[in-house]
Amino acid sequence: MSRLEEPWPGRPHPLGATWDGEGTNFALWASGADAVELCLFDGAGAETRVPLGEQTYHVWHGYLPRIGPGQRYGYRVHGPYRPADGQRYNPHKLLLDPYARALDGEFRPEPPVFGHDGDPRGDAPDRRDSAPYVPRSVVVHDSFPWGGDRRPGTPWEDTVIYELHVRGFTKLHPGVPEPLRGTYAGLAHPAAIDHLTDLGVTAVELLPVQQFVTEPAVARRGLTNYWGYNTIGFFAPHAAYAATPGEQVREFKAMVRALHGAGIEVILDVVYNHTAEGAEDGPTLAFRGIDNAGYYRLLADDPRRYADYTGCGNTLDMRHPYVLQMLMDSLRYWVTEMHVDGFRFDLASALARSLHDVDKLSAFFDVIHQDPVVSQVKLIAEPWDVGEGGYQVGEFPPLWTEWNGKYRDTVRSFWAGERIGVRDLGFRLTGSSDLYADDGRQPFASINFVSCHDGFPLRDLTTYERKHNEANGEGNRDGESHNRSWNCGVEGETDDPAVTALRGRQVRNMLATLLLSTGVPMLLAGDELSRTQGGNNNAFCQDNEMSWVDWSTRDDPAVADLLALTRRLVALRRATPVLRQRGFFAGRPVPGAEGRKDLAWLRADGTEMTEREWHAPDLRTLGMYLDGDGIRQRGPRGERLSGESYLLVLHAGAEDTTFALPGLPWADGYRIVLDTTAPDGLPPAGTDRPAAGMDLPVTARSAVLLRAVRTEVPDTRPLPPSRPSLGGVPTP
């Protein structure tokens, strides 16, 4: 270890390491520090320490000529080690730059990486050097040739999201060359993109790609953090996803450019609610050693401990101006420099807590809403955290969309045969107006999903009623115990053809429900290929075939049918304006439509439901009529929008039934376009044109979509303005 002469003063802004062509400016915010040393590492790993003697408003800074891109560095921050006061400075710990654009090297949870000397709440710091066991920050300057890169700019109402894992999506893909599998370059490969475009999805939502590390407790079990919800670098693409070591920034940008070229937006799942340092017994990697009391929410009555609204040991303090600035700087960086199109905020309720409660007027919302860059991209909240009052579905303000957990729960419960009736299902099918209409938001505020990375994939929802997480090494105690799943009578895989057929139908039922609902559908990668996790509903630590997409299933005729059905449903949605409305249904007659409503709820005898039936818990059959002439929004030039009208019949009963197809004014006749009884969803020849007034046979636990046929000329007169009701359903 050596020392350089005192650096030039440099500048306090921007934070991080900034190369200007001649040298690099380093700036680090550490409000309670007594001194800061910049640590430079050469190719052999030798360390040179450079004291940063300049401090401006708690930002320590200095400029080093001839230091440029590729330089590995870190920090050692001096100050008091007094956990009782929330201070955990320890210069024996090499710290990452929170603003580093790239990281190099592996984290190894050896004893020296922990800042305490055995007792995380005691006053004795650990004096061993952590440098051999932690990554280095890297000076980055990347002049990437974006060329004519254009953001697709897909409107929310036309968006179909596909949630995928960068590594797991291509790790087993036979069309992607072996060296590229599981990487940014693999996702950019034509074989991967072709699957996405063939499906018709308009956006990929990537599980965390900001640099993360594995928790020590998970590493001790011989496992790794696969999902990535353990961030340590909010500006750095995860290095392990680069096909060429050290090229993660360039490869990430090339991936975005390739996806944009295919018309696909890139949404990042971001984790700003906590960091990988965990609770007080966790490692000291960056924030804890730079300014523990500034970055984290500490318990007021015991600053040795962290307020934990995330279930991960700590919570970043978004009430602090510099922490909030870091979040906004990070978001702007990913939009402006990395060209991403939006963000899904993990445990977003934790970001909006003021003192204890989730606050719609918090600084977190204020700065995002007024920011000219971040406010213009897609913003998705996971509207809950693990703290008291953290479940906030429907409570985020305008500008935000939300993962609609109530949609997931209702659809799963309905098809699992639970006694929930159809009232909640009606709201979910039509954009959840009960959650979003009262504050001026529109149906696309609801991100509809039935499965996601967290929990069972669709196939497992029909195969397992109990979680089987033994491989996670926690005695099957981890993961959700109430999955709202139904195994169709047998737990686990079976060769029984009747059970297998029913399971296939249930998957098609949920898939059809999702893609025919108003709102923004989100598909889980691999559901269209019948992917299974073997009953594991918490596969966060399974970086193996359990989690990776299995492309070999495409050779199975049943999977080929499922894949074709998924494509057809997405295409039908894209071609059908009434399924993609920007406004909520009114449930009132359409002008000039001879009594038809834009939305009507029908019972099995073909007549409209009564208030009493709407609340009946044992009702298993629901008909939803959507009128294509009743679209109240206008086109970009004020033109009236119209299209086909549809009748969707959902039957979750255990016995076959019939549904009386209503006649005029609803329709003269019908064309069946989807029947989930068939493996490919297509009705048998000769049965696809039932007449109005006839009793349509409906198989137990199945869904049928019919296109209404009418001979009258549609009314083209302008529609009067109307105030949406609660989605056209009877008012609760």
List residues with catalytic annotation.
346, 382
* Residues with Cβ within 8 Å of residue 637, at least 6 apart in sequence: none
341 vs 562: CA distance, rounded Å: 29
Q: How far apart are CA 609 and CA 611, in angstroms?
A: 7
Residue pointed to by tokens 């909006």: 352
Based on the number of CB atoms within 10 Å of its own CB, is 42 exposed (0-12), middle (13-18) or buried (19 or more)? exposed
Tell me which amino acid residue 111 is: P
Is residue 650 within a helix (H) or strand (E), and if so which, with residue range? strand 646-651
CA distances from 686 to 564, 671, 680, 690 (A): 21, 11, 16, 9
Contact 549, 526 (CB under 8 A): yes
Task: Find all residues with CB under 8 Å of 140, minimum gap 6, and list them.
Answer: 17, 19, 69, 100, 101, 102, 249
Question: How far is residue 309's CA from residue 33's CA, in Å, rounded to a whole number?
Answer: 27
Q: Where are any strands of DSSP class E within 238-274? A: 265-270
Please measure the distance between the N-terminal and C-terminal CA atoms of the chain and give it in whole angstroms.
72
Bridge partners of 316, per DSSP, are 296
Q: What residues are paired with 28 via a beta bridge?
A: 60
Q: Which amino acid is at 2?
A: S
Q: How far apart are CA 702 and CA 127, in angstroms?
A: 65
Provide the 8-state DSSP code for 719.
Answer: P
* DSSP for residue 720: P
**Residue 85 backbone class (left: φ over 0; alpha: ψ -120 to 50; beta: rest):** alpha
Query: Other C-beta atoms within 10 Å of 9: how many?
Result: 14
| Euclidean distance between CA atoms 235 and 475, whole angstroms | 36
Sign (positive or negative) of CA dihedral 63, 65, 68, 72: negative
Q: Residue 596: CA atoms inside 13 Å, Cβ hemisphere, count?
A: 28
Task: Please give the Cα distance from 130 to 115 (Å, whole number).
Answer: 9
User: What is the 3-state secondary structure of 40-86?
Assistant: EECCCCCEEEEEECEEECCEEEEEEECCCCCCEEEEEEECCEEHHHC
Distance of CA 562 to the CA centre of its chain: 24
Read off the DSSP letter of residue 232.
E
Tokens describing residue 128: 């061993």
Query: H or E segment at 672?
Result: strand 669-675
Task: Extract the tokens encoding 105.
Answer: 């090297």
Cβ neighbourhood burial of 544 (10 Å; 0-12, 13-18, 19+): middle
Contact 77, 89 (CB under 8 A): yes
